[in-house]
Structure formats: structure tokens, C-alpha cells
Amino acid sequence: MSHCTPDLLAGQQAELTAIRRDIHRHPETAFEEERTSQIVAEKLQSWGIEVHRGLATTGVVGTLKGKRPGQKAIGLRADMDALHLQEKNEFEYASSIPNKMHACGHDGHTTMLLGAARHLAAAPDFAGTVHFIFQPAEEGLGGARVMIEEGLFERFNCDTVYGMHNMPGFPRGHFAIRSGPMLAASDSWEVTFKGTGGHGAMPYRGTDPTFVAGQFIVALQGIIGRNVPPTQASVLSVGHIAAGTAGSPNVIPSEVLVRGTARSFTPEVRDLLERRMGEVATGIAQAGGCAADYKYLRRYPPLINAAEQTTVAVEAAALTVGRDKVEPNTPPVTGAEDFAFMLEKKPGAYIMIGNGGPDEGGCHNVHSPLYDFSDAILTTGAAYWVNLVRLELGDA
Ligand SMILES: [Zn+2]
Ligand SMILES: [Zn+2]
């Protein structure tokens, strides 16, 4: 079987760079990716790929059948959305829209998948069907979940699904993946502690929810240290506290709101965090004569790579850049990704592609106002997708 390399796609470099920079200059946030999805749809159509639009408002699915007969179908997914962030880069293709920026490289992800679609459409030497899935709203609003709810996999049957994300700080064009849990579940929670409050000089005449909230914040780390098995990673962080008024430091407030994030890698630990936080909040509140209103909001599930498809992804990456540039057992990352919703429905694998290390100028982290996707890896990512299709749909 012939395999694809970045060099083989070098003829696409200029066009892909132009597409990527155009999208970068015109960032669009969750469910508003009108211009971006228009570009995607037009490009796919111009290469003879069947295009379906409208899933999750701005989602685009391109369907390409191989020239050899085959029943198998696979889904390749890229995200299209930008972030609410003011870009601080000063290059000519920097964001033209205030407070919106492609700071997570989704401009690059979209372009890499377009590059693969173009190459495969020109030479559909595979058996079966590829669905190129361009999703909106990866950042926080779960566009992948919405596409699934609106019938993505009923309308476009996929036996397996694959995703890819760039990784700053990791050598350009190298790949990293692991079988099993790779990214964390990302959930939100909040507790409102309610007491009587009162005069700051006479706390004994009431109940003090700030005293209770303080103990709760410390006790959270006891859940991590004493309840979660030490071989399992998890995180509880407080991100927001609100109580009282700045002008009244001598008043004990009657309510304290504490909000934060919870990260875990398995359904079991996720359940444990949800249950124990509620128990600890209620117990400490009770001891302090207060009440606790507790809410736990499940946002993104853990991203779990299937063993078989992880092996296919490793092989595809090795064919693309050589086995020495592929890390098949990278540690899990406590970030989250809504591709996890697709992996709950279909077996598949999600891989990281290096965006450049410190000496390659590509190490500003994602979500930094100085981040940029490296155009040097556009053909690498596209070649990976092509190899993946050929491996998955090599024979009828
Ligand atoms: Zn992001
Ligand atoms: Zn991202």
C-alpha cells in the first residue's frame, strides 16, 4: 500500500496556508461559524465532494466514496470555532475581529482536514466511505454533542471516528497518543452556603457561611487525597467565590457562592467527585449551622481512545513522519475536548500533533493571546488523515 507524506502534499502548502490564514483573520465563535463553514462547504464542493450543511447550525459534513466497493464508513472530525480573546499577535493575518481569536488552532485543524479531503477526492483509492465532519462550538458549548443529538450518526453512519488536535511545546509534526483515557472529563460545580450572617463583631449571634466555605475549600483537596484512588488522576479547583459587599467588611454575609471545575478520567471517579463534593458541602455546612445548595453540571465526558483504533492511528502517524516521531503512550492531559461525545458513540481515536517546541517558535500555549497554529504542519496533518483513511479503508 502506498503511503502519503508531507512531502507528497508539498504542492498544497501555499493553498493550505492561504486558507488557514484567511480563517485565522476572520475568527468566528460557537455556532456562529457562518463564513468558515461557507469556505469549507465551497472547497469541498469544488473538489467534487458531496456536502451536507446545517447540523448544529453551522456544521458541515462532506461525504466521499472510494472508487473501490466497500461497506465500511469512517468519520474524520475537525473543529472550526474560535475563542473570545483579544489577539496580541501583530502579523498581517492576525484577527480582524476584536475579542475573537483562533487561539486553539481550530483554523489549522479545519485546514488540515480540507487538505486531506482534496487529496483523497483527487485519488479516492480506497474501499468504503469517508465522512469529513466539520463541527462548530468545540470551546465549551459542545458542538459535537449537538451534532450527535441532531442525528449525525444516523444520517452519516460511521463505523469508527477520529479526531486530531495540535499540541504547543511538542516538536513540530510529531504525534502523541495513548490508548484508554487521554483527556479528562470537564465538569462545573457550585455550592451556595446559606447562614444567618450578621455583625462582624458578634459572630456567635448567628451562623457564618464564610467560615463554612473556607473549610469546604480546604476539604475539597481531601476528596482528591483521601477518596480518589492514588493511581487515578483528578482535579478539583475553585474558580469563583462571591459573598458580601466590598464596602461592608464588618458584615458577615448570609450567603457565599463557591464555583469551580472538576476533572477526572473515568466514569467511576467522575461519579465519586460528584457524590463526595455534595456530602462534604452538606456535612461541613451542617456542622457550621448553615445549609448548602449544591449543583454539579456534567459538561464534557472523559475522552477515551479505543485500543484497536489507537493502533491504527499510531500506524497512520508512523507512515506519515516515521515511527521515531510518534509517541504511542503519552501521559493523559487534564484538558477536555468535546470529541469525547463522539467517542462515547463510536470506537475511535484522538491524536495530538506537535505545533512546535521552544526552539521552533510554536510553544505559546493554546488559549494564549500570542498563540498561532504552525503552517509548517498543515501538510503533515493532512497526510496523517490520508494514511488513516487508507489504513481503515484499505480493503473491501
Ligand atoms: Zn481550546
Ligand atoms: Zn482546541
Residues pairing with 168 in the sheet: 356
Spacing, Cα 390 to ligand 2 middle (Å): 26
Q: Spell out the alpha helix ranges (H) of the chain.
A: 13-25, 34-46, 106-122, 143-149, 152-155, 209-222, 267-287, 307-321, 339-345, 378-392
Nearest ligand, CA 163: 2
Q: For position 395, what pLDDT does the model report?
A: 59
CA dist., res. 324 & res. 44, Å (int): 33
Spacing, Cα 386 to ligand 1 middle (Å): 25
Residues pairing with 183 in the sheet: 303, 333
Q: For position 362, what pLDDT does the model report?
A: 72
CA dist., res. 75 & res. 344, Å (int): 14
CA dist., res. 33 & res. 244, Å (int): 40
Spacing, Cα 139 to ligand 2 middle (Å): 7
Spacing, Cα 369 to ligand 2 middle (Å): 14
Nearest ligand, CA 105: 2
Handedness of CA 304, 309, 311, 315 (dihedral sign): negative
Spacing, Cα 61 to ligand 2 middle (Å): 19
Give the DSSP per-residue string, 265-283: SSHHHHHHHHHHHHHHHHH
Spacing, Cα 104 to ligand 1 middle (Å): 5
Q: For position 235, what pLDDT does the model report?
A: 97
Residues contacting 260, CB < 8 A, separation 6+: 188, 189, 190, 220, 236, 237, 238, 239, 240
Spacing, Cα 336 to ligand 1 middle (Å): 9
Spacing, Cα 104 to ligand 2 middle (Å): 4
Nearest ligand, CA 139: 1
Spacing, Cα 86 to ligand 1 middle (Å): 14
CA distances from 364 to 81, 88, 147, 359, 374 (A): 19, 12, 31, 11, 11
Q: For position 54, what pLDDT does the model report?
A: 95
Spacing, Cα 109 to ligand 2 middle (Å): 9
Q: For position 396, what pLDDT does the model report?
A: 44
CA dist., res. 111 & res. 279, Å (int): 47
Please list the ranges in the chain whose pLDDT falls under 50: 396
Nearest ligand, CA 373: 2
Spacing, Cα 185 to ligand 1 middle (Å): 14
Is 279 within 8 Å of 223 (Cβ atoms)? Answer: no
CA dist., res. 186 & res. 184, Å (int): 6
Residue 245 CB burial class (10 angstroms; 0-12, 13-18, ≥19): exposed
Is 180 within 8 Å of 304 (Cβ atoms)? Answer: yes
List, for residues 136-194, the tens digit of each pLDDT value: 999 988 999 999 999 999 999 999 999 999 999 999 999 999 999 999 999 999 999 99
CA dist., res. 102 & res. 374, Å (int): 12
Spacing, Cα 128 to ligand 1 middle (Å): 32
